[in-house]
Amino acid sequence: MEVKEVWIGNDHGGFELKQQIVKVLIEKGIRVHDVGTDSTEIVRYPYFAQKVAGAVSDGRAARGILICSTGIGMSIIANKFKGVRASLCTSTFMGRMTRAHNDSNILVLGGKITGVLEALDILDVWLSTEYEGGRHAISLGLIQEAENAICNPAGWNPAGSST
C-alpha cells in the first residue's frame, strides 16, 4: 500500500529532525499534515502526540510520525490511543520489522539520539515495508482484543491465562 499522506508531530526536541523529514516526504510526493511545534522553544510533547495519535485512532490518518528528544515520551502517550501501534525505532531493522510484523501506523523517532541520515533511512524502510500478515495477525488480534477489553470496565482476561 503506497503511503499518500502522513501526519507529523513534534516537540522542541524533534523540531530540527522534523524539518529534514518533511522535506524528504514532500520530495517523495507524500502529503504532510504538520501538527508539530515550529521552533525549539520548550513545549509539552503530549499535546502534539495527541494530535497525531488521535488522528490515527479515529481514522483521519493512516500513518503518523512523532519526534521528541528520545522518542520515549511520544511513544508512551501515542500507544494510549486505541488502534495505535506506535513504534520507537532506532535502526532500519526496527523500522522494517515494526511494519512487517506489527503493522506499525506511527513511527516514533528521537531527535536527539538518532542522527539525521539514520532517521531518514529508518523513515524510508518504514514507508516502503508492507505488513506481512499471516502468523503476525494472531498477535495483532490479541492486541485489538486487549484494547477492547481494557477500554471496558470488565478488563482483559485473555484465553489460556490464569486469573
pLDDT for res 150: 84
The parent domain of residue 148 ranges over: 133-163
On whether both 128 and 150 belong to a single domain, the answer is no
What are the tens digits of pLDDT across the range 20-78?
999 999 999 999 999 999 999 999 999 999 999 999 999 999 999 999 999 999 999 99
Residue 163: is its pLDDT beyond 60?
no
Measured distance CA(19)–CA(99) in Å, rounded: 23
| pTM score, whole prediction | 0.92
What are the tens digits of pLDDT across the range 137-153?
999 999 999 988 887 66
Residue 101 a catalytic site member = yes
On whether both 89 and 119 belong to a single domain, the answer is yes
DSSP letter string, 52-87: HHHHHHTTS-S-EEEEESSSHHHHHHHTTSTT--EE
Residue 136 a catalytic site member = no
On whether both 60 and 138 belong to a single domain, the answer is no
68, 89, 136, 151: which is the annotated catalytic residue? 68
The CATH number covering residue 79 comes to: 3.40.1400.10
> Which DSSP helix (H) or strand (E) runs through 43?
none
Measured distance CA(106)–CA(86) in Å, rounded: 4
